[in-house]
Amino acid sequence: MHFLSFTHIVFIQLALPAVLHGAKWTYSGPEGEHHWPKHYPYCGGSFQSPIDIKSELLRFDPTLRPIEIQNYNLSPTEQLTLGNNGHSVQISLPSKMYISSLPHRYTAAQLHFHWGSSSRPAGSEHMVNSRQYAAEMHVVHFNSDKYPNMSMAVDKSDGLAVLGVLIEVGEFNPAFEHFLRFINGIKYRDQRVQVPGFNIRALLPARLDEYFRYDGSLTTPPCYPSVLWTLFRNHVTISRKQFLALSTTLYSTHAQDSAPMPLNGNFRKLQLTDSRVVLVSFKEGRGLQGTLTVTSPLTRKQIVQQLLVGDLADLADEGLYKLLPSGSEKLHAGKKKDLKNQQTVAKSKQQMLSPSLWKKSQTNRSVGKLWLAEDALCYVSLEHRVFHQLKQSHAENQLVQALRDVTFPELNLKSYLDCKSDLALPTIRHLLRGRPTDEAFELDRSLTKALMNKKHITPAIKKSVPVTNYGGFSPATVSRKPHSQGYPHPWLLPMEWED
Residues in the site for Zn ion, rule: CB under 5 A? Answer: 1-2, 138
Alpha carbon distances (Å) from 232 to 81, 156, 169, 395, 436: 25, 23, 17, 42, 47
87 is catalytic: yes
Nearer to ligand NAG, 148 or 436 (CB): 148
Nearer to ligand NAG, 96 or 445 (CB): 96
Size of the site for ligand NAG (CB under 6 A): 8
Contact between 16 and ligand NAG by CB under 6 A: the answer reads no
Residue 194, CB-side half-sphere exposure with 13 Å CA sphere: 5
Nearer to ligand NAG, 9 or 376 (CB): 9
Contact between 77 and ligand NAG by CB under 6 A: the answer reads no
Mask for 100-139, x = binds ligand NAG (CB under 6 A) = ----------------------------------------
Q: Which of 152, 183, 244, 461 binds ligand NAG (CB under 6 A)?
A: 152
In terms of DSSP bridges, do strands 135-143 and 160-169 run parallel, antiparallel, or are they unpaired? antiparallel
Nearest to 1 by CA among 149, 99, 139, 95: 139
Q: Which residues have a Cβ under 8 Å from the Cβ of 114 and sit 6 or more positions away?
A: 2, 88, 123, 124, 125, 135, 136, 138, 219, 266, 267, 268
63 by DSSP, 3-state: which?
coil
Nearer to Zn ion, 2 or 414 (CB): 2
Contact between 358 and ligand NAG by CB under 6 A: the answer reads no
> Least distance from C-beta 222 to ligand NAG, angstroms?
16
Q: Which residues have a Cβ under 8 Å from the Cβ of 431 and sit 6 or more positions away?
A: 304, 307, 308, 371, 409, 413
- Which residue stretch of 149-157, 371-379, 405-413, 428-436 sits at the interface with ligand NAG (rule: CB under 6 A)? 149-157
Residue 392 partner contact from Zn ion, ligand NAG, none using kind-dependent CB cut-offs of 5 to 8 Å = none
Q: Which of 7, 70, 71, 81 binds ligand NAG (CB under 6 A)?
A: 7
> Least distance from C-beta 378 to Zn ion, angstroms?
22
Q: Which of 107, 110, 151, 281 binds ligand NAG (CB under 6 A)?
A: 151
Contact between 364 and ligand NAG by CB under 6 A: the answer reads yes
Q: Which of 149, 173, 293, 361 binds ligand NAG (CB under 6 A)?
A: 149
Strands (E), 217-266: 227-232, 236-238
Backbone angles phi, psi at 38, to 5 degrees: -60, -40
Residue 358, number of CB atoms within 10 A of its CB: 17
Residue 293 partner contact from Zn ion, ligand NAG, none using kind-dependent CB cut-offs of 5 to 8 Å = none
- Structural contact between residues 264 and 117, judged by C-beta atoms closer than 8 angstroms: yes
Contact between 81 and ligand NAG by CB under 6 A: the answer reads no
- Structural contact between residues 47 and 160, judged by C-beta atoms closer than 8 angstroms: no
Residue 276 partner contact from ligand NAG, Zn ion, none using kind-dependent CB cut-offs of 5 to 8 Å = none
> Which residue of the set 8, 21, 39, 87 is catalytic?
87
Alpha carbon distances (Å) from 161 to 93, 204, 228, 229, 325: 14, 15, 5, 6, 32
Contact between 306 and ligand NAG by CB under 6 A: the answer reads no
**CA geometry: angle 317, 321, 323, nearest 5 deg:** 105
Contact between 92 and ligand NAG by CB under 6 A: the answer reads no
Rg (CA), the chain: 24
Contact between 5 and ligand NAG by CB under 6 A: the answer reads no
Residue 447, number of CB atoms within 10 A of its CB: 22
**Chain mean position to CA 208:** 20
Residue 11 partner contact from Zn ion, ligand NAG, none using kind-dependent CB cut-offs of 5 to 8 Å = ligand NAG
- Structural contact between residues 172 and 137, judged by C-beta atoms closer than 8 angstroms: no
Nearer to Zn ion, 39 or 138 (CB): 138
Residue 2 partner contact from Zn ion, ligand NAG, none using kind-dependent CB cut-offs of 5 to 8 Å = Zn ion
- Structural contact between residues 490 and 422, judged by C-beta atoms closer than 8 angstroms: yes
- Which residue stretch of 52-60, 145-153, 291-299, 324-332 sits at the interface with ligand NAG (rule: CB under 6 A)? 145-153
Q: Which residues are catalytic?
A: 87
Interacting residues toward ligand NAG by CB under 6 A: 7, 11, 148-149, 151-152, 364, 366
